[in-house]
Amino acid sequence: MASSSYDVLRKQARSLENEIDLKLVAFSKIGAGSGGSSGISNSSSADTSPLLGDLVFDSLSEEIEQMLEKLSTLNESMSDLPATGAAAMHTLQRHREILHGYRQEFNKICANHTVRIEREELLRGSGLTTSGSPSISGLSRREMYMKETGHLSSASHLVNDQINIAIETRDHLHAQRQAFKRLQTRFNDISNRFPLISSLIQRINIKKRRDSLILGAVVAFCIILLLLYAFN
């Protein structure tokens, strides 16, 4: 009896997983903005098509949330049944992993849709009339994306300019480094010659002191001779 109930729950889970998978594909297309206005070709309706796409997105989002909750309930019901073997446990674990993957994909699509809506609102900018309703002459999606592409291109040019300035600065610093190296080499050469000059100066000083001593001795000897001659 437990095996029969487990098989029924497993079939229901598989069927529900297939439905959720199909819903997520459509949900992803609508969230990316490619499924809400496929039947609208003129530019005047491009401003109102996002409203319809948002309504479809919200409706499908609620439906998928309900299906995910139902799949979670089925998995819990299968886990409450007595274990019938390793294969059944592996299958139950697989169903849980599938549910977790579906939840992650659902949250990712919702987050991307929110980011896209915020970006479009930012690009729409002043395309609102004084009454607060979207202007018919406002930017279409293609024009907004072209404007955003232009901004990205301008930012890329600015970044390239900054990179060129950084390269020029690096070249100047490299040239200064080479100049400092040459100066350092010259200073090293001069410092290597200093010992010879210092030794020569010391020799000159020693010779001057020796000459001074000799001259002093001669003067003193002459004075003594003069004194002896005077007293005699």
pLDDT digits (tens, 9 = 90+) for 100-141: 999 999 999 888 888 888 877 776 664 544 344 444 344 566
Confidence of residue 6 (pLDDT cuts 50, 70, 90): confident
Q: Which of the pair, 54 or 30, is modelled with greater confidence? A: 30
| DSSP SS3 for 128 | strand
**Residue 90 structure tokens:** 């592996």
- In the chain, where does DSSP find H-type helix? 2-31, 49-80, 86-124, 141-231
Nearest to 33 by CA among 125, 128, 122, 145: 145
Q: Does 218 score more than 60 pLDDT? A: yes
pLDDT tens-digit series, residues 134-167: 443 445 666 777 777 888 888 888 888 889 898 9
Please, what is the average pLDDT of the chain? 78
Task: Provide the strand spans (E) within the chain.
Answer: none
Q: Does 213 score more than 60 pLDDT? A: yes
Supply the pTM of this predicted model. Answer: 0.47
What average pLDDT does range 41-68 have in this prediction?
Answer: 69
Phi, psi torsion values for 68, nearest 5 degrees: -65, -40
- The Cβ of residue 69 has, within 10 Å, a number of other Cβ atoms equal to 10
**Residue 18 structure tokens:** 């297939």
**Residue 98 structure tokens:** 């599938």
Q: Does 22 score more than 50 pLDDT? A: yes
Q: Which of the pair, 198 or 204, is modelled with greater confidence? A: 204
What average pLDDT does range 197-212 have in this prediction?
Answer: 82
Q: Which of the pair, 130 or 186, is modelled with greater confidence? A: 186
Nearest to 88 by CA among 31, 167, 4, 163: 4
